[in-house]
Amino acid sequence: MAVAVSNDGMLGVWTRKATAALPAVGRTNVASNVFLVSDYSVPAAASASQSTVVSVDAASGTVVRNAVQNFTTGVTRPETVSYNVPRAGYTRRSPGLVTQSNGAPSNVAEFVLLIVTGTDFSVLALPASNQFGLSVIVRSSP
């Protein structure tokens, strides 16, 4: 793994190519995240995220997970994540309108994520909002 910041402020992340393995049903990840504002000039607020895998389709390489939207109420929403898309080692969350566990509509934004091989560190992009983020898994079970 290598991370570099150039003189003009560009950030580069390199990792060994490795196919991402599908998680098991019941797998829960809790992560800390930080995004940069859309012009990449300053960090936006840090956030926490949590999701639990509810189904796995090994044939298509997709996972449906329930992602917590409100830690106070426990409201979740379903998100579909494709593994090894757009290429080996990456994951892509599909965009779309879904229904949260409380019945409210929720718009899921696409992201493309690269797990840095051998770590719990990821870099991700949200194309629709032109944001770049860093995420660290702080707890995983089982």
59-107 pLDDT, tens digit per residue, is 999 999 999 999 999 999 999 999 999 999 999 999 999 999 999 999 9
pLDDT tier at 52 (50, 70, 90 boundaries)? very high
Q: Measuring CA to CA, which residue among 141, 103, 113 is closest to residue 23?
A: 141
Residue 116 has pLDDT above 90, yes or no: no
User: What is the rounded CA–CA span in Å between residue 4 and residue 130?
Assistant: 20
CB 66 within 8 Å of CB 101: yes
The whole-chain average pLDDT of the chain stands at: 92
pTM score? 0.90
Query: Is 141 in contact with 44 (CB distance < 8 Å)?
Result: no
Q: Are strands 11-14 and 47-57 parallel, antiparallel or unpaired?
A: unpaired
Is residue 82 within 8 A of residue 92, CB to CB? The reply is yes
CB 80 within 8 A of CB 93: yes
Which sequence spans correspond to the domains of the chain?
19-141
d(CA 113, CA 89): 9
Give the span between the Cα atoms of 19 and 71, in whole angstroms.
32
- State the pLDDT at residue 29: 97
Position 6 pLDDT exceeds 80:
no
Q: How far apart are CA 13 and CA 121, in angstroms?
A: 11
* % of the chain surpassing 90 pLDDT: 73
